[in-house]
Structure 1
């Protein structure tokens, strides 16, 4: 689990750098779409970005930022696979991973996808760009990262819930010190001795023969 968390943290750092260069990313898509004579349809899939980079990109800056986007997508796919092996999961975590895998599928249609608050990636686009061209492609990474964070949070809570009751039982059953049993036995023996002495006194008192009382002394002579 720690490895998954650390990998996710590194990808998030990389995404922050990418997010700061969103304008560069959009300009790169504009130029490569123009080179491809593909200005009408929106950028609706990851494979479309890959195609622009491989066949219609002639600018080193454009190639770098498009590579960065594709690299983050690939790293997130690998992390999805890692998450599946680390934690068997329940319906919640499985649903989150399935959502991530669908969104990161090369040919998945991202046209209608939009990242909402607190993400501002769509708001940084012009109205035309947001509605018809790039709203989906800039939304896929923040939405996937949100789902992965949720997966980590839920998985940690699940593990904590399973472990905690066991630990509580162990603490309850474990003696506070190795001397505790001896102390308990000693106290018990002392109580037993006291009870035995008490019972013995009761027994003697109940079974002791009554002694005859001597008559008081009287001087010799006749007495009425």
Structure 2
């Protein structure tokens, strides 16, 4: 017989169920309770994608750790890019640490797809920040787009949170064209903190190119008072590279 801490307390300490012979459980529907009792005595229960969250909830309520572990293993095997954010919430709720680790890995491996999902827009700030901090920094442009979508989903409440999320980006990994796009985005151009971060990144990129290009073989092409990118032109190789200009 598998142990339920919930029932063990009920029948081993001075509670009315110990002497009454009747246990009323209104929190769990009849059929689910029958399946639970069968599992306690036999160790057998059917877990499917349709009932897995109900079984997990019942296992948590009745404190059957071995059933929680069984549910965790089932969820471990069905985690995908499509359901990882939803399952992450349940894994955190029921303290399934191994499952949380597996889901975080799935998120990182499918980051660009995950942050486009509706579930991502429903996350709170702590979960969004946690996901961003654990990414592998290979898709910063997609991350920026995801942050903008998350903020715009509830602009009134979230606009003030944008600078903190923006500061998590590694702007040096973005293309010049995309940095130009960022500069024109309302959330950025209307926020001094974000503009400063963007300008610093552009200055750093320009300085790094200047170190590389300290040669008469390079000329810099730009237009005075223009907000368009500068161009470093390699006379010898007859090739050019854009440099962002936001200052």
TM-score, length-scaled by structure 1: 0.28
Q: Which has the higher helix share?
A: 1
Q: Which has the higher strand share?
A: 2
Of the two structures, which has the highest relative contact order with CA contacts closer than 8 Å and spacing of 6 or more?
A: 1
TM-score, length-scaled by structure 2: 0.26
Structure label with greater radius of gyration: 1
